[in-house]
Chains A and B, each alone.
Chain A
Amino acid sequence: MSSVLQPPAAPVAPARIGRARPAPGQRLGTASGAGLGLAVLWLSLLVLLPLAAVVGKASGAGWSGFASAFTNAEAFDAIRLTVLSSLAVGLFNAVMGTVIAWVLVRDNFVGKRLLEILIDLPFALPTIVAGLVLLSLYGQQSPIGINAYGTKPAIVLALLFVTLPFVVRSVQPVLLALETDAEEAARSLGASPLTSFRRIVLPALLPAIASGAALAFGRAMGEYGSVVLISGQLQYKTEVASSYIYKQVQDDDLAGAAATAVVLLLISLLVIASLGALQRWAARRG
Chain B
Amino acid sequence: MASASTGSSERSRIALRLLAIGYVGVLVVLPLAVVFWRTFDQGGSAFVTAVTGSEAVHAYRLTLVVAGSAVVLNTIFGVGTALLIARFRFPGKAILNVVIDLPVSVSPIVVGLALILVFGWQTGWFGSALQSAGWQVIFATPGMILATTFVSLPLVLREVLPVLYEAGSEQEQAARSLGASAPQRLRRITLPTIKWALAYGVVLSIARCLGEFGAVRVVSGDVVGQTQTVTLLVDGRAEQFEPGAYQLWVVLILVAALCIVAISLIRPKETS
Contact A103 B31 (CB under 8 A): no
Q: How many residue pairs bridge A and B at CB < 8 Å?
A: 280
Contact B213 A258 (CB under 8 A): no
Residue of A nearest to B81 (CB): A39
Cβ proximity bits B95-120 to A, threshold 8 Å, 1 near / 0 not:
01111111111111111111111100
Contact B260 A246 (CB under 8 A): no
Contact A28 B213 (CB under 8 A): no
Contact B103 A249 (CB under 8 A): no
Also in contact, A118 and B29, with CB within 8 A (given A36-B84, A128-B234, A218-B105): yes
A14 proximity list for chain B (CB < 8 A):
97-98, 101
Minimal beta-carbon separation of A148 from chain B (angstroms): 12
A117 proximity list for chain B (CB < 8 A):
260, 264
Partner of A47, one of B102, B245, B246, B256: B102
Q: Interface on A for B, CB 8 Å cutoff?
A: 2, 4-5, 8-11, 13-14, 16-17, 20-22, 24-28, 31-32, 35-36, 38-40, 42-43, 46-51, 53-54, 56-57, 96, 99-100, 102-104, 106-107, 109, 111, 115, 117-129, 131-138, 143, 157, 160-161, 164, 187, 192-194, 218, 221-225, 228-229, 241-242, 245-246, 249, 254, 257-258, 261, 264-265, 268, 272
Between-chain CB contacts (< 8 Å), 18 pairs: A10-B101, A13-B101, A20-B166, A46-B146, A46-B153, A47-B99, A48-B99, A51-B114, A99-B23, A106-B13, A118-B29, A121-B256, A124-B211, A224-B214, A241-B107, A249-B112, A254-B116, A254-B117
Q: Interface on B for A, CB 8 Å cutoff?
A: 5, 8-9, 12-13, 16-17, 19-21, 23-24, 27-32, 34-35, 38, 77, 80-81, 84, 86-90, 96-118, 123-125, 146, 149-150, 153-155, 158, 161-162, 165-166, 168-169, 182, 204, 207, 210-214, 217-218, 231, 234-235, 238-239, 245-246, 249, 252-253, 256-257, 259-260, 263-264, 267
- Not counting A132-B234, A192-B8, A194-B12, a sample of 19 additional A-B residue pairs whose C-beta atoms are within 8 angstroms of each other reads A4-B260, A13-B101, A17-B162, A25-B86, A36-B88, A47-B153, A51-B106, A102-B16, A125-B253, A126-B213, A127-B214, A132-B35, A133-B32, A221-B107, A224-B109, A225-B235, A254-B117, A261-B110, A264-B107
